[in-house]
Amino acid sequence: MDPLDSYRRYERAWNEPENAADLLAPAWAEDGVYADDEVPDGLVGRAALVSFIVTSHATMPGFRVWGTSTPRMLAGRMAVTWEAIGGNPPISSGGTDVIEFDADGRITRVTDVLDLE
């Protein structure tokens, strides 16, 4: 799979929690790691990420996330900025994802650096 296709499936998974497992199946390495400031030790595996996505939607009604920059490949890694909104009242957030891929184009690691204020 092309890394850009994997990224697009990953981004869609955040906006389609009911389809997240199917979207991530070909795009996320079995032992892929997601880490951000809220889970600094990381979540390992597809099931853990899907659970995190579903929980995010449950705790923040109307949650949506979208890329705010064109994904760029830098030294075999992808960088993309994003914004999100969700909750009642709505809370917005943003950050930068640094995404690593295996030889087959599957995501092996997302380091999500949140914009903290």
pLDDT at 3 over 70: yes
Residue type, 13: A
* Residue 85 DSSP SS3: strand
Positive or negative torsion for Cα 39, 40, 43, 49: positive
pTM for the whole structure:
0.94
Please report the domains of the chain, with CATH numbers, ordered by start residue: 3-114 (3.10.450.50)
Per-residue pLDDT at 117: 65
**Locate tokens 């900025």: which residue?**
81
Q: Determine the Cα–Cα distance for residues 10 and 64; give it in Å rounded to an integer.
A: 13
Mean pLDDT across 13-18: 97
Amino acid at 26: P
pLDDT of 82 higher than 70: yes
Q: Summarize pLDDT for 59-81 with one digit per residue, the tens.
A: 999 999 999 999 999 998 999 99
